[in-house]
């Protein structure tokens, strides 16, 4: 089969490698190079870097529209287009070009968590499981019928970064399974998504990273996990703004006002919440490195042994 692959971030790289092993990837589409780092140098996407390493032609149109772009895609004569976190909408004219249409690898159990940030939203919501769906694309946002799916438990210590890596590997496996069936002449049966249970995983915003101590500790702990490594949760702690990289919810009846430090010691820093307390385990001061909360207390001896209520 002649495959065209469209993807941009690191999440899509394992799927690109799986596709290139299973069949001939005749071209890779990825977003244009973006400024990155302190020097704001134009940087190729992870998918572009992987494609060039494997000698695959790369195309980077700003939009998948216009006669020239569409004619160039048609000239590739693709049997199938695989889309993984590409970041650009595919108009119907593009969906109609490949012989078998377009497949999408999506990191959730559709119809739950359609949209841009399904991995982080699943953790933030306290979900116990997630997974990957291989979907036949249509014009709507992640509304197409599901061809294959695999579930994955969300572990209590999963962060956004760790779950991302696990789902990226699972996505490559599911894609390889689907391509194997297609190569054998078996088209996976497309199952329409149910109308019930639709939720949307809206794009992450740095403004969401600010923790509200009036919320329940369990929800705040889930947000800390979900937002690691980006955008990283932050909060006011005893008069100082800290970024919080790891925390644990405690079922503590404290009687203190939300945001109060109720204990600080080698185990961590316990902050009163609307329900329970949040134990800070790893924090980061402005301009500093990520350190254990116990090490932070070396610079904040005024907090050691703090107790209230």
Task: Establish whether 153 is an annotated binding residue.
Answer: no
Query: 92-124 as b/e, with b when 16 or more CB fall inside 10 Å?
Result: eebbebbeebbbbbbbbbbbbbbebbbbbbbbb
CA 79 to chain centre: 28
Q: Which of 63, 61, 59 is nearest to 51 (CA)?
A: 59
CA angle centred on 271, ends 269 and 272, rounded to 5°: 155
Dist. CA 132–CA 207, nearest whole Å: 28
Task: Establish whether 111 is an annotated binding residue.
Answer: yes
Task: Establish whether 108 is an annotated binding residue.
Answer: yes
Q: Which of 2, 4, 8, 17 is nearest to 175 (CA)?
A: 17
Q: Where are the alpha helices (DSSP H) in the chain?
A: 13-22, 46-53, 67-75, 92-95, 118-124, 160-183, 217-226, 293-299
Long-range (24+ apart) CB contacts under 8 A made by 138-142 are 138/95, 139/91, 139/92, 139/95, 141/114, 141/115, 142/104, 142/106, 142/110, 142/111, 142/114, 142/115
Binding residues for (6S)-5,6,7,8-tetrahydrofolate: 108-111
Binding residues: 108-111
């Amino acid at each position: 089969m002649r495959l065209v692959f469209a993807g941009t971030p690191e999440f899509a790289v394992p799927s690109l490698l799986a596709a290139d092993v299973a069949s001939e990837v005749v071209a890779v589409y990825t977003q244009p190079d973006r400024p990155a780092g302190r020097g704001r140098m134009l940087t190729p996407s992870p998918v572009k870097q992987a494609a060039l390493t494997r000698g695959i032609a790369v195309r980077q149109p700003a939009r998948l529209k216009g006669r020239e772009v569409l004619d160039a895609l048609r000239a590739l004569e693709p049997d199938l287009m695989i889309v993984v976190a590409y970041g650009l909408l595919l108009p119907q004219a593009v969906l109609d070009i490949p012989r078998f249409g377009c497949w999408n690898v999506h990191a959730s159990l559709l119809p739950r968590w359609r949209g841009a940030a399904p991995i982080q939203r699943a953790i933030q919501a306290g979900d116990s499981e997630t997974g990957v769906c291989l979907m036949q694309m249509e014009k709507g946002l992640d509304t197409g019928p599901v061809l294959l799916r695999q579930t994955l438990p969300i572990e209590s210590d999963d962060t956004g970064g760790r779950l991302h890596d696990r789902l990226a590997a699972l996505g490559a496996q599911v894609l390889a399974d689907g391509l194997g069936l297609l190569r054998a002449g078996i088209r996976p049966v497309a199952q329409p998504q149910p109308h019930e249970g639709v939720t949307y995983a809206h794009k992450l915003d740095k403004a969401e990273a600010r923790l509200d101590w009036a919320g329940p500790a369990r929800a705040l702990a889930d947000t800390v996990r979900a937002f690691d490594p980006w955008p990283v949760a932050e909060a006011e702690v005893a008069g100082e703004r800290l970024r919080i990289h790891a925390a644990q919810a405690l079922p503590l009846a404290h009687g203190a006002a939300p945001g109060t430090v109720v204990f600080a010691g080698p185990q961590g820093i316990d902050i009163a919440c609307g329900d329970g307390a949040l134990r800070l385990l790893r924090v980061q001061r402005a301009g500093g490195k990520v350190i254990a909360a116990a090490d932070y207390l070396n610079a904040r001896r005024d907090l050691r042994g703090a107790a209230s209520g």
